[in-house]
Amino acid sequence: MRMPTIQWYPGHMAKAKRLIKEKLPLVDIVFELRDARIPLSSANPLLAELIQTKPRLILLNKADLADPRETRKFLEFYDRLGFQALAINSLTENPLIPILDKAKKSLASNREKEAKKGMRERPIRALVVGIPNVGKSQLINRLVGQVKAKTGDRPGVTKAQTFLKAGNGLELIDNPGVLWPKFESAWVGIHLALVGSIKDELLPLDEVVIQGLRWMINRYPERLKERYDLVVKAEDDPIALLDAIGQNRGCLLSGGQIDYERVYRLFLHDLRHHQFGPLSLETVDDARSI
């Protein structure tokens, strides 16, 4: 699968990277938000290099949109790797207490050393990072209890550096700008496009939709059947399925030909607006290939 060359680090992205390095000495821990539907693709491969030995808490946000079976497997996977990880839904819940519990576990040895030196207990300071559309600003607003960070459903909404008190001894530094992912493989771009974390114009829409349909056929055929009133079999060809969806939903041009652009938009709308129910686009097994 060929992927177009995309410049992920224009001036403002490079600035965000520099500011992360500047803020790291000021914090105790990094809260890395990922999309629970794509925990692998929504991880920035440069983050480990940037934070080095700084403790990290992986937050799988939008967990209500993901397949709970796969999310549970990912949490077990990260635990085996020695990472603290937590599944959250910042849209409807305030995860302050479980986040604090996990952060305290990550920092236990550091805090013990500080106590032995006679240092007073101080707030936990965390730097919040994440790629576009993982709900970073939404989480900060939820933790702080009021609207402090801009939110939106388009990549790159967060713009300004802020320092916020979340209560219960937690202070947050909001990373300015977005930390874009580097495409380690073609699948990373496809997965990010499917959930809307990158703009549709960046990748061929037909390829994105075909790969998304192929995944649905293999993993969630019953969801396609329910949504589009179709008989879906494991051996079905995604393009033939596109034709069937187009016919069923009346996505036709004059002369009765399939309006593929409308079918692409229809499928992406249904996927991004959760019309198929909770689903995951990645499994732990993908960690070897993505």
pLDDT, tens digit only, all 290 positions of the chain: 555 555 555 566 677 778 888 889 999 999 999 999 999 999 877 777 888 889 999 999 999 999 999 999 999 999 999 999 999 999 899 999 999 999 999 998 888 888 888 888 889 999 998 888 899 889 999 999 864 555 445 454 444 445 789 988 999 988 755 666 567 678 888 999 999 988 898 899 999 999 999 999 999 999 999 999 998 887 889 999 999 999 999 999 999 999 999 999 999 999 999 999 999 999 999 986 55
> Where does residue 127 rank: exposed (0-12), middle (13-18), buried (19+ CB within 10 A)?
buried
The model's pLDDT over 211-232, given as tens digits with 9 standing for 90+, comes to 999 999 999 999 999 999 998 8
Question: C-alpha distances in angstroms, 169 versus 99, 164, 165, 185?
Answer: 12, 11, 8, 40
The model's pLDDT over 167-213, given as tens digits with 9 standing for 90+, comes to 889 999 887 556 665 676 788 889 999 999 888 988 999 999 999 99
pLDDT at site 181: 57
pLDDT at site 7: 53
> Which residue in the block uniquely carries the two structure tokens 């290939």?
289
> Which residue in the block uniquely carries the two structure tokens 């990550």?
106
pLDDT at site 157: 45
pLDDT at site 11: 64
pLDDT at site 45: 74
pLDDT at site 48: 77
pLDDT at site 194: 97
pLDDT at site 160: 44
pTM (2 d.p.):
0.88
pLDDT at site 9: 53
Domains delineated in the chain: 11-174 (3.40.50.300), 204-288 (1.10.1580.10)
pLDDT at site 252: 95
